[in-house]
Structure 1
C-alpha cells in the first residue's frame, strides 16, 4: 500500500548513508535530506497534482457507501474491477443484486464509521513497526486511549437492559443483523480496542492489556471470531506476564493465585461457544499445563465436553532428495527427478508418482474450488445486504461468522445431497456454465474432469465433511489444507500429503486440517523431505 511505502521511505531518508544516492551537496539535517529526496523523486515522476482533500474525502465516502468496502481506498481494487467488468475484460458471477438502502442510518453514521475505520487503519500501519521501535507503539497506544471513553460508553450501552425488540442477539439468532454490525461505529471501535491491546503488549503494559482484553470479552456483539485469540492471550498474561516473580513465601502464594485465575479463565474460554477449534486446542493445553503447575492430581483435573488436548495426527513418511545448496534464500530448492531444480512439494510428488499415484500440488485451492462449485447457488443466494453490487466475486459476508447461519437450512440440505452421492454432475454443470468468471476460492486452472475424479475418489460422505468445515469456518479454513492431492483412478484410492522440508513445522491450522481429515477417515500423511542421496532407505 502507498502509505506503507511512503512511511518506509521517510524512515529511510533519516539515515545519513542515503545521501550518497543524491546530489553532491549533502545536507546534514533531516529536512535537507528530505528535500533532496523529494527533488530526486520529482526528477523521475515529473509534475504531480495533489487533489483537494475535501474532494478525496467525498470520493472515499462514496466508495464506502457504494462498494460496502471498509478497506482503505488506496488498498482497494473495487473501482478497477468495476471498470474492467464494464469494458468486458473480466466477468463476475450472475446473481440478483439485493442492495440494502438502510445499511447506514444517516450521513453522520457514515462519517463517524469512516473516521473510526481510518483510525484503525493507522493503528494497523503502526503495528508493522518493529517491537523495539517503542515510540511507534506508544503512539498506537495513545490512539486507543483517545477513543477509550467511546469504547467504554459503547460497552455500557450494551450492558443496559433492553426490550426483546432492542436486544442485541447472538449470531445464531440474528445472523443477518450481525453481519450489518460490520458497518457500525461499534465494530470499528472494537477493532481499535483489539489493536490497543496489542500495543499495550508491545509496550509491556500488561495490566492495561488485560483490562482491554477483559473489556473485549465482556461483549458478544462484535468480532466474535476473535474471541478465541483474546482468551488465549488473557490466559497467557495470567500465567506469565502478570505472575509474580521470586521464590519467597508471599511470591509463591501470589503465583498460585495467578494460576487459579488462569484456570478459571480457561474454563470460561471453554464455555464460550464462539471459540473456534484451533483456539480450543491451545486453551485445553494451557489448562493441563496450569493444572500440572498447581499440582492437581489426574483424577481431580477438569473435564470439559469441549476440551481438545491432543490432535489426531496422521502417519508420517520420510523421503530423501538432493538439495541445491547454492540457493541461500527463499523456499528450499531440490534436484528434481528430471534434473531440473524443483520445490520440496514437487520432489515429494515425484516420489509418490513412483508409487503409482497421480497427483497435483494444489494446497487450499482444491478444497475451496470443490466447495464453491458445489455450493455456487447458495454462495450467491440473493440475501439482503450481501450482494449489493454487480461487481462482486463473493458475497460480502463470505469470510464472516454469519455466512453459515444465514444459509444454514440450504447448506445442510446440500451437505445431505452430497453425502447421498449427488455431486459429480453438479461439479460439471457449474464448471461449464461459470468457467472463467471471477469467483473467490475457485481456480479454473484445475480441469473439470480432474475435479470430478478427485470428488469421486473421496465419495459423498468424506467430501461432505470437507465442505462442512469450509461452510462453517471459511475464513479460518481457507488455508492450511495439505499440499498434495494424490489418487489412483483404477482403485479409487485417494491420499492427501502435507510436505515438510528440513526444519519446517506444522502450523496450528495445518494440524487442525490433518485432525479433521483423520477424523473423517480420509487418508492423509505428513511427508518429511530430508537432504540425502535418493538411494538412501525411505519408508515408502
Structure 2
C-alpha cells in the first residue's frame, strides 16, 4: 500500500472530528457560567446528540461542517463512516436532527439541489429554450414557468398548478435529500462560538458554523499547530442570557451577508441587508437592559456583543449610502454613530473623517465640515492617520481664497510633520500583457541580457529592493509592518502572553483579546515602559541574545504578531546590529502603546548593510500611487528617531523591444 493509502486508512480509523467536536461540546457545557445560555430544549438537543450511535454522530458532524443547504444522498459519501449511510440518516431523522424529502416543499431549493444534467432534462420537458443551458440560468427560467397560469387555475382550481407539478417532477430526480434542522444546528453553532470567540464567524452559505475550530484542534492534535502558553482567567461573562447569545449569532450572520454583497460588488443587495441592520440597531438600542449590561464589560470584550457588531456594520454601510449618492442619509448615519460612544471607539476617527468629507465635498457645506473637524480633533479616540487627515481637511478649507476663512486655521492644531525625503528612479516595463497584477518591471539583468526567453519581471517593491542592493544596501526585506510586530513579539513575548484577567477566553488564541484596544497598554504600562527603557540601554550583542532566546524557545508557536517563515533569525540579528537599542526601543514603543492604529502604514522596505551598520526604511510608490496619512506619519516618526527614511517613486518607462533568443 502506498503512503497516500496508509494516510487515508489512518484518517478513517481515527475520527478526529468526532473527538474534537465532543471535546468542544464537553468543554463548553462543563463551564458553569455557560449553563444559563442554554434552555431545556437546547439541553435536550445536546442529550439527543449524545445518545446517537457513533456512526450517526460522525455523519451529523460531517453535515454540520457543510453548507446549510439540502444535500442529495449521492453527495453524502463518507467511507470512514460506512458504505451504506441509510441507517445513520434514518437515525438522525428519527432524532429530529435532520429534515428529509417530505419537508422539502420549496421549489427553488429543489431545483438548486438537482444535478446539472437532471435540470436540463426537466427544463426540456417544460420547453425552455435550448439556448439556455447553464444551471444558473435554467433555475430562474423554470421558476418563471412555474408561475404561469393553466386553464385549470384560471377556472379556479386550487391544485397548485404548474408549481406543484414541477415540484413533484423535480423531486423524482432526487433519490433522497437531507438538510440539518435549523434549530438544533443553531445550538451547536452557539457552542462553537462560546468555545472560541476569537475565531467566531457564522456563515450558513459557507457552512462556517464550527469547522474552523475543529480544524484548529485537528492541527493541534497532529502537532502542526502549537498555541502560546497562557492562563485563561475569565472575570466577565460576555453574554447575560441565552437571548443575548442568539442576538450575537444573528448579528454575525448579518455581517456575513453584508460582506458577501460588498465583496461581490452587489451594492443593491448590500442596501437591502443594510436596512435589516438598521432595524436591528433600532431594536437593540431601545433596550436599556442590553446597554446596561454591555457598559459593564471591558471595551475589548464589548466587541463580542450584538450591539457592537451591528454598530460596526453600520460603519461599513456608510459606503453603501455614498455609492447611492445619498449623502444626506450618509451624514445622518454618521452623526447617529458618532452620538454613540459605547461601541467601537477605534472607528471614531474614520467616522469623523467621513463626516467632514461628505459635508465638504458632497454637500458643499464647508463651515459644517470645519465643525466636524474641530469636534473630531478633540475626540480622544481619534488617533494617528485619521487625526492628520482631519487637520489637512481644515487646512484645505481655510486656504480656499473664495471662502475667506484663513483666520480660522489657527483654531486647529496638529504637530508639525516633517517633509518626507523623496527619491525617484526609473523602471522599464513591458506593455504586451506580461501581467495583470499591477505594473511589472524588468529586472536590470533581463534588460542587459536582452534575451526574451530569460526575461524576469518583478513587482515594484522587488524592483526597488534590487536598486538599493546595488546602492549600498545588500540586505533587505519587503515586509511592511510585520518587521515592527516581529520585533515586538521577540522582545515582549512574556508580556504579550502574561496572566491578565479576561485577556484569554479560549485555548486557541494567537493574541490577547485586548491587544488592539487601549487597555492593552493601560493594563501593562509599567512593564512595557520598563522593558522599553531596558532595550534602549542594551548593547547590540544583548539584543541579539534576547531575540535568539525567544526565537529558539517559541519558534513555530502561533502568534498574530509574527510570521516565522517571513524573516530568518540571521536576518533579525543582522538587522538588530544596524538598528541598535535606542532606535529599537523607539520603534517598538510606538507600536506597543497603540497597536490598533500603528500596525499599518509602516514603510514597505527595511534595508540594511551589516558591514557599514547602515539602516534605511523606504516606502515604495509605483506609477499613480501616493502616500497615505498613516505612511506619512510613520516616516515622520522614523525621521524623529534619526532613521534614514524616505519614499522611492518609480517612474515607468517603456522597454526597448527585446532581442529574440538565439536558436
Q: Does the TM-score normalized on the shorter chain lie above 0.5?
A: yes
The question of 1:104 aligning with 2:239 is answered: yes
Indicate if the aligned counterparts of 1:321 and 1:529 stay in contact, CA closer than 8 A.
Answer: no
Say what the alpha-carbon RMSD is for the aligned residues. 3.8
Indicate if the aligned counterparts of 2:331 and 2:358 stay in contact, CA closer than 8 A.
Answer: yes
The question of 1:429 aligning with 2:549 is answered: yes
Relative contact order higher in (CA < 8 Å, ≥ 6 apart): 1
Greater Cα radius of gyration, structure 1 or 2: 2
- Structure 1 position 297, deviation (Å): 5.5
Tell me what 1:251 maps to: none
Residue number among 172, 185, 189 corresponding to 1:56 in the alignment = 185
Query: After the TM superposition, which of the residue ranges 401-410 and 58-67 deviates more from structure 2?
Result: 401-410
- Structure 1 position 33, deviation (Å): 11
- Structure 1 position 234, deviation (Å): 1.1
Structure 1 residue matching 2:476: 3-state secondary structure: strand
1:211-259 per-residue CA deviation (whole Å, 9 max, x = no partner) reads 221122123211011101111111122223333xxxxxxxxxxxxxx32
Tell me what 1:90 maps to: 225
Tell me what 1:173 maps to: none
Indicate if the aligned counterparts of 1:27 and 1:33 stay in contact, CA closer than 8 A.
Answer: no
The question of 1:350 aligning with 2:466 is answered: yes
The question of 1:153 aligning with 2:270 is answered: no
Tell me what 1:81 maps to: 216
Indicate if the aligned counterparts of 1:363 and 1:483 stay in contact, CA closer than 8 A.
Answer: yes
Q: Distance in 1 between matches of 2:655 and 2:188?
A: 60
Tell me what 1:341 maps to: 457
Consecutive aligned runs of 4 or more in structure 1 exceeding 6 Å deviation: 25-28, 32-36, 45-48, 155-158
Q: Distance in 1 between matches of 2:507 and 2:613?
A: 41
* 1:429-508 equivalent positions in 2, closer than 5 A: 429-445=549-565, 446-508=567-629
Q: Distance in 2 between matches of 1:200 and 1:404?
A: 36
The question of 1:67 aligning with 2:204 is answered: no
Indicate if the aligned counterparts of 1:67 and 1:389 stay in contact, CA closer than 8 A.
Answer: yes
Query: After the TM superposition, which of the residue ranges 513-522 and 84-93 deviates more from structure 2?
Result: 513-522
Over 3 Å counting, the alpha-carbon distance change for 1:209 and 1:335 in structure 2 is closer
Tell me what 1:276 maps to: 383
* 1:223-242 equivalent positions in 2, closer than 5 A: 223-242=344-363
Query: After the TM superposition, which of the residue ranges 373-382 and 455-464 deviates more from structure 2?
Result: 455-464
TM norm structure 1: 0.80
* 1:30-49 equivalent positions in 2, closer than 5 A: 31=143, 49=178
Indicate if the aligned counterparts of 1:231 and 1:265 stay in contact, CA closer than 8 A.
Answer: yes
Q: Distance in 2 between matches of 1:47 and 1:363?
A: 52
Indicate if the aligned counterparts of 2:227 and 2:509 stay in contact, CA closer than 8 A.
Answer: yes
Q: Distance in 2 between matches of 1:328 and 1:534?
A: 15
Count, aligned residues = 493
Residue number among 291, 303, 315 corresponding to 2:422 in the alignment = 315
TM norm structure 2: 0.66
1:184-224 per-residue CA deviation (whole Å, 9 max, x = no partner) reads 23313322432444443333333332222112212321101
- Structure 1 position 466, deviation (Å): 1.6
Tell me what 2:310 maps to: 189
Over 3 Å counting, the alpha-carbon distance change for 1:403 and 1:47 in structure 2 is farther
Q: Distance in 1 between matches of 2:438 and 2:345?
A: 35
Q: Distance in 2 between matches of 1:328 and 1:406?
A: 49
The question of 1:301 aligning with 2:409 is answered: yes
